[in-house]
Structure 1
């Protein structure tokens, strides 16, 4: 079995920890949506809190000037914010009806499907990682997990 070097293991642990937080975020936002009476409003509040936290962190790290360069970037580079908003809303909307596990399995399947294609294309000037049978099997296993989450 291959071993994971610290250069690989540390980012995996960090992303895993953030993934745990992301798993908690959906039901928290769903609860906020029920409490305030609106899912879109809850998503807006969630993004507002996140924006404030990132603004403070940007300033604390001395990256405030970088914010001034954002308006001059191509619009497609700003689409991540729209996609993030769609994720937050879709999750808080779907979790009460299909449950956290199924919602995340569907989200993960969508993310991995896009990632497989984007990797193969080397999209956004990233290194190319070809589609292989092993990668397709990984995607199929997640699809199987989605199906099993509803049995």
Structure 2
């Protein structure tokens, strides 16, 4: 794998945490309106994407071709909106750390299923036992992150 691509993926993770925190603060600033903050976030993102897509060219052809696709291929926007709303809503309620570790656990497990079974028309990339063990270790880390203080308190009694 290309080191630059791996670094880019890491930066996406960093951006996710910052985005969730920023959007959560936006929600509080506009009257604790999670839906409104998610909408503003998406509008800002839409403006930036429209500018980049226009500068790159081919927007009309892409949009035209999109309307001939099966409905399920257009659900990414709904999923993205749900993701942004979920982070805005949950971050102040469960904390950034809990939010992020649960999101990562969900992404990890779903990504393994998508790769292993070729779901949503993705290429099949069988998940090895060693990678499953790595995922199990990570899920254990999630459990420690979420419940470590309780476990420690229970053990010290």
Q: Structure 2 matches for 1:55-74, cutoff 5 A?
A: 55-65=50-60, 66-74=62-70
The one-character-per-residue Cα deviations of 1:44-85 (angstroms, maximum 9, x if unpaired) are 111111111111111111131212322221110011111111
Asked whether 1:42 is paired with 2:37, we answer yes
How far is 1:94 from its partner? Answer: 1.2
Check the 8 A contact 1:43/1:85 in 2, yes or no: yes
Alpha-carbon separation, structure 2, partners of 1:43 and 1:147: 28
Distance (whole Å) between structure 1 residues aligned to residue 80 and residue 68 of structure 2 = 21
For 1:59 and 1:108, how far apart are their aligned partners in 2? 33
Which entry has the higher C-alpha Rg, 1 or 2? 2
Structure 1 portions without partners, runs of 5+: 1-6
TM-score by length of 2: 0.85
Report the more deviating stretch, 125-134 or 89-98: 125-134
How many Å separate the matches in 2 of 1:33 and 1:104? 18
Rounded to whole Å, the distance in 2 between the matches of 1:121 and 1:30 is 35
RMSD: 1.4
User: Does structure 1 residue 140 correspond to structure 2 residue 140?
Assistant: no
> Is the CA contact (8 Å cut-off) linking 1:108 and 1:142 kept in structure 2?
no
Number of residues of Structure 1 aligned to a counterpart in Structure 2:
145
Kept in 2: contact 1:29–1:43 (CA 8 A)? yes
Q: How far apart in 1 are the matches of 2:15 and 2:79? A: 19
